[in-house]
Every structure is written in structure tokens, then in C-alpha cells.
């Protein structure tokens, strides 16, 4: 097995996705013609499948799991078999390929992640926790950059820590707030499901024409809206969140329910016709924010709300049980559960879908599960970083 791994690393050393670096989207979008000429492409299919099965089973966690990604980068036949063997996070609980951040998390447990904030650069980086200690770098997943506008604030979300621009081929989506920071809309760079409606924006920038095929459709797809309740009386207490997950049906949390799952990123090569759009659009219309009322939500959309904390008389503060994952009291801390507005309360309404909390000056934990993805969870948590004078 070690000999096979060394051959893979030597053969495709320039394509291996390293443990701490940004992923290479070209490994999973469609492939280039040169890959079919690889000397490993003619390996007997039965032998190849057996080898890949053993590698996938043995390399179950990061950083060793990068060897599974390396197998997908050897050639087209290796990639197809590897993608067949690697199950989605909902079933395996593992984040392997870059597209995993756009797929729902596991049903039975929370995926443990953490966010590092850089105040000077106004950037945020999401990592997958490799153990209970937060001293290591973890496995990088996503990055976001805060962009202030005259009337709103944008958080550009990317797969690349060094390229968080809207025209980058690593662009995943964005979070946009209103002027007060009380209402937010999460936009996906590609359709979250069949029939998704695109929102066009006057503020969209032209992408680099050298990187994008004219056949690649562009646009922003709203996948969630977040509203924070105004604190008119100025009373002390935690913020109150209300999230409408427009891309996820309420039935997804029921037994046998299904949440939309994206299978690949759009590819930008002119030799490959993409099935999903990836970039933003340019239009004369302006993005409109959804109101926090249920009348504006998509029919049957999943609704999340923050779990109500309890007042601790001895500590004289509001408390939530984060099971040791949060150690610093902060108004930013929250736990999201399914709102009873989705129907009669059942066992599924007690499950924590997302929890976020502070553990250091610029270090926060983020744990999520089905039916939301790492990208959606990250965007929801970014909304908590924004200043909310009207809600404090």
C-alpha cells in the first residue's frame, strides 16, 4: 500500500491537494485531455478499484486523506472511480473534495470546525477540526473577506485564502447585509437545486474574460435569508435570529427527507460545457433583501431559529449548553434549531443544526450537521460577526 501511495505522489505531485493549501477545482470539474494519456490510465479496472477502495478506507481522516484526493488527480478513470467510492458527507461524515463544503453534513452528529478572524485584514478562515484541541491549523475549508459598501456589507466567500475576489474561479458565494446589519441574504455562486432562480445585481463586476468561457452562465442564487430581531427596548439578553433556508425544503428534516446536494463545481475550461453556473452576473437590477416575515419565504422552506438560553442565577448571565465547545461568553454565541413553524414539534426539532461560539479573542468554534452544508453554516456564522447596533 505504501508503494502505491509513493507512486501516486511521484506521478501527480503537482496536482496533490496539500493539507493546508487551497483545493484545485480542476480535479473535480471535468478534466483535461492530457489526463487520458497518463501511464496509469490503462491499469486494469478491477485492480484499480481494489487499490482505491483500500486507500479510501485506510485514509479516513486529514491530513492522510489528501492521498484520496491525489488519486482523483491522477487521470480521468481514477477520478471517476474515486468519486464513486467516496460518499457524500451526509452518509460518510467526511469532507474530502472541495465540493464537500457545498453538501449537507452528516445526520447523526455535528461536524466540528473553527473560524479564525483577522481583524486587520477583515478576513475569516474556516477550518475542519482534526482533534478536540484548537492549537493546530486544522484542514482549511473556506475563507471570507469583508467588503464595506455605502449602504451594505458584503462577505465574499472563497475556496482560496489568497484569492477572495468576486471574479476568482474559487468564488463560492457571498453574504450581504442591509445598512443596519439586521437582515442578511446568503447567495450561492451556482444553483443549489434544479429550478433555482437567479438574482441579478447592478453591483456585479465583470469577471476575467480570459478565465471564463462565454458558455458559462453567471448569477447569484439566494439560498438563505437571516434576520435579527430589533432590540427596541434596549433590554439585555442574547440576539434573536430567524433564518429561512430557501434552498432546503422543510420536509428534509423528516424521516426519509432529502436535502438538495450539489455534486460538482462548474468547470471554466472552454473545452468543457458546464452543467452548473458558477460566477456572478451583471444586470441593471439591484438585489433585494428578503424580509424576516414568513410571507416572504419560499413555500415550504426550512426555518431555523436560535435556541432560547436560560438565565443562570448564580452566574447572573444567559447560558446555553455547548458541551465544552464554547468557553467565552459573547453576544455572538448561538445555537440554531428547527423552528416549530415548520409543523408540529417532534424529536427532529430538538437537534442542534448549527452552533457557534467564542473560545478566544479571534477564535470561534462552528459545529454543523444535516441538512445544511459547511458553506451555508459559515455564511450564517459570518452574519453574527457584523455590527448590530439596533440589536444590542
Q: Using alpha carbons only, give the angle 155, 161, 162 rounded to the nearest 5 degrees.
A: 105
Q: Cell digits for 353?
A: 443544526
Q: Cell digits for 339?
A: 423552528
What mean pLDDT is predicted for residues 278-292? 38
Give residue 163's pLDDT. 86
Residue 288 pLDDT class (50, 70, 90 cuts): very low
**Alpha-carbon gap, residue 35 to 308, rounded angstroms:** 54
What mean pLDDT is predicted for residues 126-139? 81
Superfamily the domain 90-193+218-254+298-391 falls into: Tubby Protein; Chain A (3.20.90.10)
Give 82-122 pLDDT, tens digit per residue.
999 999 999 999 999 999 999 999 999 999 999 999 999 99
The answer on pLDDT for 234 being more than 60 is no
What mean pLDDT is predicted for residues 77-86? 91
Give 295-350 pLDDT, tens digit per residue.
444 678 999 998 887 877 777 777 888 888 888 888 888 999 998 765 666 666 77
Highest mean pLDDT among 50-54, 216-220, 346-350: 50-54
* pLDDT above 90 coverage of the chain, percent: 39
Q: What is the pTM of this model?
A: 0.80
Residue 362 pLDDT class (50, 70, 90 cuts): very high
Contact present, 43 and 4 (Cβ < 8 Å): no
- φ/ψ of residue 116, rounded to 5: -105, 130
78-80-82-84 Cα dihedral, nearest 10 degrees: -150
What mean pLDDT is predicted for residues 244-255? 91
**Residue 373 vs residue 263, higher pLDDT:** 373
**Residue 340 vs residue 32, higher pLDDT:** 340
**Residue 196 vs residue 3, higher pLDDT:** 196
- As annotated, the residues of the chain forming the CATH 3.20.90.10 domain(s) are 90-193+218-254+298-391
Give 142-169 pLDDT, tens digit per residue.
999 999 888 889 999 999 988 888 778 8
Give residue 111's pLDDT. 95
Give residue 295's pLDDT. 41
Amino acid at each position: 500500500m505504501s508503494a502505491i501511495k509513493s507512486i501516486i505522489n511521484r506521478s501527480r505531485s503537482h496536482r496533490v491537494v496539500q493539507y493546508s493549501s487551497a483545493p484545485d477545482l480542476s480535479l473535480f470539474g471535468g478534466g483535461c485531455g492530457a489526463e487520458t494519456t497518463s501511464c496509469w490510465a490503462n491499469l486494469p479496472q478491477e485492480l484499480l478499484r481494489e487499490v482505491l477502495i483500500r486507500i479510501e478506507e485506510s485514509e479516513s481522516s486529514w491530513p492522510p486523506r489528501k492521498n484520496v484526493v491525489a488519486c482523483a488527480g491522477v487521470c480521468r478513470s481514477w477520478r471517476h472511480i474515486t468519486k464513486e467510492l467516496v460518499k457524500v458527507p451526509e452518509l460518510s461524515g467526511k469532507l474530502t473534495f472541495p465540493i464537500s463544503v457545498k453538501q449537507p453534513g452528516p445526520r447523526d452528529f455535528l461536524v466540528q470546525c473553527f473560524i479564525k478572524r483577522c481583524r486587520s485584514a477583515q478576513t475569516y478562515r474556516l477550518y475542519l477540526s482534526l482533534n478536540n484541541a484548537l492549537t493546530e491549523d486544522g484542514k482549511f475549508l473556506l475563507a471570507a473577506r469583508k467588503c464595506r459598501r455605502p449602504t451594505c456589507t458584503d462577505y465574499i466567500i472563497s475556496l482560496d485564502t489568497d484569492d477572495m475576489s468576486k471574479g476568482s474561479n474559487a468564488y463560492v458565494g457571498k453574504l450581504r447585509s442591509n445598512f443596519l446589519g439586521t437582515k442578511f441574504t446568503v447567495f450561492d455562486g451556482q444553483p443549489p437545486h434544479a429550478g433555482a432562480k437567479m438574482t441579478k445585481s447592478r453591483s456585479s463586476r465583470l469577471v476575467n474574460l480570459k478565465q471564463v468561457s462565454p458558455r458559462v452562465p453567471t448569477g447569484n442564487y439566494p439560498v438563505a435569508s437571516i434576520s435579527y430581531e430589533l432590540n427596541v427596548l434596549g433590554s439585555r439578553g442574547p440576539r434573536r435570529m430567524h433564518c429561512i433556508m430557501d434552498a432546503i425544503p422543510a420536509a428534509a428534516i423528516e424521516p426519509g427527507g432529502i436535502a438538495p446536494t450539489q455534486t460538482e463545481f462548474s468547470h471554466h475550461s472552454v473545452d468543457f460545457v458546464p452543467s452548473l453556473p458558477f460566477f456572478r452576473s451583471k444586470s441593471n437590477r439591484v438585489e433585494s433583501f428578503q424580509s424576516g416575515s414568513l410571507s416572504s419565504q419560499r413555500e415550504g422552506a426550512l426555518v431555523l431559529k436560535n435556541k432560547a438560553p436560560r438565565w443562570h442565577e448564580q452566574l447572573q448571565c444567559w447560558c446555553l449548553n455547548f458541551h465544552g465547545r464554547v468557553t467565552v461568553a459573547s453576544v455572538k454565541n448561538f445555537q440554531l434549531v428547527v423552528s416549530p413553524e415548520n409543523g408540529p414539534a417532534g424529536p427532529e426539532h430538538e437537534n442542534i443544526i448549527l452552533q457557534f461560539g467564542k473560545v478566544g479573542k479571534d477564535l470561534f468554534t462552528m459545529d454543523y450537521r444535516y441538512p445544511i452544508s459547511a458553506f451555508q453554516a459559515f455564511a450564517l456564522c459570518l452574519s453574527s460577526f457584523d455590527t448590530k447596533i439596533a440589536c444590542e
